[in-house]
Amino acid sequence: MASATTTATSAGEAAVDEAVRIATDNSRRTLDTAQATITAQATIAAQATIAASKRYVDLASEINRDFLSLWTTAAETSLKTTFELQNAALASSQTLLETSTKLSSDALRRWIDVARQAQTTARTSYQSTSKLLSSLTQE
């Protein structure tokens, strides 16, 4: 009987060993499938993250280009306006200077004419007075 019991025990142990092996294989396959699924999902998530990051970087780059374009346009317009105002001020100053110089020149010319006229009048007056005195003293 011992051999029947040993055979039964060996058959039971073999059945248990086979059940453990089947459970281990199934667990390993389930684990491998889970790992493959997780890896595939992680890959998909990583690809989605990379695509979202690329869209974000592209959008940020476009916004930066638009901002730079706007800034350069505003700066150029500001410079043009400043230069136009400066040129208008210079032209106005030049006109004012020319007008002032012309008026000063005209005033100086008139002053010179009046001074010469006064000199002539003084000389004529002196000559007349001198002749009068000469004629009074000669008589």
What is the rounded CA–CA span in Å between residue 30 and residue 36?
Answer: 10
Three-state DSSP at 139 gives: coil
Query: Residue 138 falls within a domain, yes or no?
Result: no
What is the distance, to the nearest Å, from the Cα of residue 98 to the centroid of all Cα atoms in its chain? Answer: 41
Query: Residue 63 falls within a domain, yes or no?
Result: yes
Query: Residue 129 falls within a domain, yes or no?
Result: no
What is the rounded CA–CA span in Å between residue 38 and residue 16?
Answer: 32
pLDDT of 82: 92
Query: Residue 120 falls within a domain, yes or no?
Result: no
pLDDT tens figures, 70-84: 999 999 999 999 999
Domain that holds residue 93: 11-98
Query: Residue 25 falls within a domain, yes or no?
Result: yes
What is the rounded CA–CA span in Å between residue 39 and residue 45?
Answer: 10
Question: Burial letters for 31-70: b for 16+ Cβ neighbours within 10 Å, e otherwise?
Answer: eeeeeeeeeeeeeeeeeeeeeeeeeeeeeeeeeeeeeeee
pLDDT tens figures, 90-106: 888 888 888 888 888 88
Query: Residue 82 falls within a domain, yes or no?
Result: yes
Residue 96 CB coordination number (10 Å)? 10
Is 63's pLDDT higher than 90?
yes
Supply the mean pLDDT for the chain: 87
pLDDT of 139: 61
Tokens describing residue 1: 């009987």
pLDDT of 40: 85
- pLDDT category at 9 given cuts 50, 70, 90 is confident
**What is the count of structural domains for the chain?**
1
- pLDDT category at 8 given cuts 50, 70, 90 is low
What is the rounded CA–CA span in Å between residue 50 and residue 126?
Answer: 110
Query: Residue 54 falls within a domain, yes or no?
Result: yes
Radius of gyration from C-alpha coordinates of the chain: 58
Query: Residue 108 falls within a domain, yes or no?
Result: no
